[in-house]
Amino acid sequence: PGRTADPDCGRQVGQLQLIRQVAGLTASIRDRGLLRNQVLKLLQDFFSTSGGGIYQLHDHESPLSLVTEVNISEELSRELQKVPAGKGLISQVVKIGKPLFWADLKSEPQLYCRALLTANWHSVLAHPLIAHERILGVLFLYQNSRRDFSASEIDLLNECCQLLAAAIDSSELVEKLEWQHRLTHASQRELD
């Protein structure tokens, strides 16, 4: 008799393929901007969301900087850049260091950027990018309609965010070492 496809098996295969794709990108792309962009697009497609972005955190006192975005208008991007340090929904993710989900932005008292409602954003899932117990930023996905993310989807996003954070951290370290090497080399030439 014919076998019927197991939907759980198909979902697991899809999840493993996503993790493999993210791992492949993190291993092959050295440019942080390009890496963030490629991974964000991949996640936005996989989770079938309206769009998303990645905030970079320089330190806890400075405002978050939106460094990568998918399907966010220039005007809205400028508004998102104006959110002060410690304000808004994304800052809550930074404070607790764990993913947060907002099913209905209209009912969120902590929403700082009201322009999100004008842009028809309805639900947001935000996940911290953590490497070596240090928060490097926050990746978020938004939906223009009500969306509930399952625990398995949040776990999968966690795996992808860990890979991305590790790659960003390594890239920053390599960049610092190269800069230090150039300074040392320039100083040595001066001494010679």
What is the SS3 assignment for 115-155? HHHHCCCCEEEEEEEEECCEEEEEEEEEECCCCCCCHHHHH
- What is the per-residue pLDDT for 68? 94
- pLDDT tens for each residue of 138-182: 999 999 998 889 999 999 999 999 999 999 887 665 555 555 656
- What is the per-residue pLDDT for 100? 95
Rounded distance, CA 86 to CA 141, Å?
20
Percent pLDDT > 70 in the chain is 85
Q: Are 103 and 147 in contact (CB under 8 A)?
A: yes
The token duo for 177 is: 């070492």
* Strands 65-70 and 100-102, bridge-based pairing: unpaired
Please report where in the chains the tokens 């996905």 appear, as a residue.
141
The percent of the chain in helix, strand and coil, each rounded to the nearest 5, is 55, 20, 30
- What is the per-residue pLDDT for 48? 94
Contacts of 6 (CB under 8 A, 6+ apart): none
pLDDT band at 86 (very low <50, low <70, confident <90, very high): confident
